[in-house]
Structure 1
């Protein structure tokens, strides 16, 4: 563990770059006793106000009275391939090596948002998050992170005796498996809407609408033209039984998916769930069959039963993850 003091810690520029906002901050210290990064000079800009990432970074530096850092890590909501980054929704494109040279960074990392989530996992504050399933985390074992939002993301923090690294993946596009008879009926209906019933086609914002239409068909009720927000509102206010059943099934079924990913990644270090949807459904998730379905893995049920699951509601996860990415590599 790093025990640097404030005078020795080289500040890190961290950023969370999405289609709506470009958020920046400086990491000015790491407290080894609390295992927490110190986040300061937090500023948010509308991404659409800028024609490029470079102009957004320059705007940030112009508004803070702090020496420009030599280290930086950017978490971006987009693919990174061979040092090229395309943020499709913004029309931004940049080359990592060119960006590093332009700002004279000695160290620059660019990671996707779920890689940042995975890096952040060991540095989260238990008191700010919610335990969904009790368990005993192995501090030396892999950690899985996942979450339904606009899409479905997942990643793994791989931990070995030689160090740690993040494994990014496309788990949202694996084929969704049925466990119960209701699951099977729903998949039959979903296949009438979709060529490939993947995890993301159900466990995402648009996926909730797919699941609602399938649930209505299974129950023999005519589906209305509802989006995820409307389904949630009608379920919460008790105005629609199909909407209520849809969200209950969402919470139950994602337990099976989370358990599958825990097995896939060997996540005895724990599973952390984020994304934009489940943190808004905390009580429904806690009262669902999530835990039962997470652990129900046949001959591997004892394995999954020991894994703790945490719903992450803490702020600044991309900043923490970006800082951790640099911190881990600097202290390897």
Structure 2
């Protein structure tokens, strides 16, 4: 495994990027402070991804506008699969070869990692004062850390730590089969199975999944479902019984999923939850059964009860993770 905890040393700037279906975000990690365990992120630029027909055009624009000399190192966090050196951003139709980009733009080093891998690399550098503890616990300093979260899809990864160092394990946890725990879970799952060939975690825990859960909840409750988007479901919760029940159950069931993944990853170092959905409903999450359902794991309940869970609301996580990934590598 490679050591990913930067030591106090001279810091060579790193071009970092967060490439998603909506925006291509670029910045420079200009400094690392070992005392405060923080990276300094500067020269941020955000470009609508739809303005470019290829990744190369987006990074070229950023470099043309950069007011400082181009860094010789770069790490890109992308929302898409990476196979060898081939990078695919399906929602954009972008495809590029990392080695070709490295040569084209003259980087000595260029790494491309999944966006949730970047989240995992960032975990040891998060600022506790900028995030929300949603489940107390006692994190073990040298144990694994799990990161996960629902957004456009559902992502997860693990920062694996042992006596030899640390490494990040990416995975496709969003596509594991969703397990029911309560009777309401089972009723909802039966409706979801009637309309989906495979009911995965992402089938429910994502933006489109929230709509599916709302429709299933309406059917289980014997109420008509309206044609609502995820945002409209959230906005209507105070006046719509089914919307309210949907959001409550989203938080409850998410607790079981997070607990399952904590067990899977052996995440005694803590669980960090991000994504674009839960940070917008923090009060509901705090008043839900998330903690109970996270912890209720039969013979392993004492194991999960000790694991702290943090809702990450801090900005620039992909930049921090990209910088940590590259800076921590042995040259």
TM > 0.5 between the two? yes
Q: How does 1:154-165 map to 2 (within 5 A)?
A: 154-165=156-167
Q: Deviations over 1:139-179 (max 9, x none)?
A: 11111000001111111111111111111111111111111
Query: 1:137–1:270: 8 Å Cα contact kept in structure 2?
Result: yes
Contact 1:16 1:74 in 2 (8 A): yes
Aligned partner of 2:219 in structure 1 is 217
1:3 Cα offset (Å): 4.2
1:311 aligns with 2:311: yes
Aligned residue in 2 for 1:152: 154
Q: For CA contacts below 8 A with separation 6 or more, give which structure has more relative contact order.
A: 2
Counterpart of 1:246?
246
Which residue among 86, 102, 108 is the counterpart of 2:88? Answer: 86
Q: Distance in 2 between matches of 1:208 and 1:114?
A: 21
What secondary structure is seen at the aligned counterpart in 1 of 2:260? helix
* Partner residue in 2 for 1:26: 28
The aligned counterpart of 1:50 is: 52
> Do the aligned residues in 2 keep the contact of 1:70 with 1:106 (CA within 8 Å)?
yes
Contact 1:268 1:307 (C-alpha < 8 Å) held by counterparts: yes
SS at match of 2:269: coil
C-alpha displacement of 1:112: 1.0
Aligned counterpart, 2:292: 292
**For the residues of structure 1 that align with 2:246 and 2:301, how far apart are their CA atoms?**
26
Distance 2:17 2:245 in 1: 39
Give the TM-score normalised by structure 1.
Answer: 0.96
**Equivalence map 1:1-332=2 (5 Å):** 2-4=6-8, 8-235=10-237, 238-330=238-330
- On the 8 A contact 2:144/2:161 being kept in 1, the answer is yes
Contact 1:70 1:107 in 2 (8 A): yes
> Using the alignment, how far apart are the partners of 2:57 and 2:107 within structure 1?
16
Q: Is the 8 A contact 2:6 2:324 kept in 1?
A: no
Which whole-Å CA distance do the structure 1 matches of 2:6 and 2:178 have between them? 41
Deviation at 1:89, TM superposition (A): 2.4
Measure, in 1, the Cα distance between the counterparts of 2:236 and 2:133.
27
Change (3 A) 1:330 1:28: farther
- List structure 1 segments (4+ residues) > 4 angstroms apart after TM superposition: none
Deviation per CA, 1:43-102: give whole Å up to 9, x if none.
Answer: 111122222222221211111221111110000111100110122222221111111111
RMSD between aligned residues: 1.2
Q: More displaced, 105-114 or 249-258? A: 105-114
| Conserved? CA contact 1:22–1:46, under 8 Å | yes
Maintained 8 Å contact 1:119/1:322:
yes
TM value normalised by structure 2: 0.96
Contact 1:3 / 1:31 at 8 angstroms: preserved in 2? no
Q: Is the 8 A contact 1:16 1:319 kept in 2?
A: yes
Structure 2, unmatched stretches of 5+, are: none
**SS of the residue aligned with 1:329?**
coil
CA distance in 2 between counterparts of 1:180 and 1:91 reads: 40
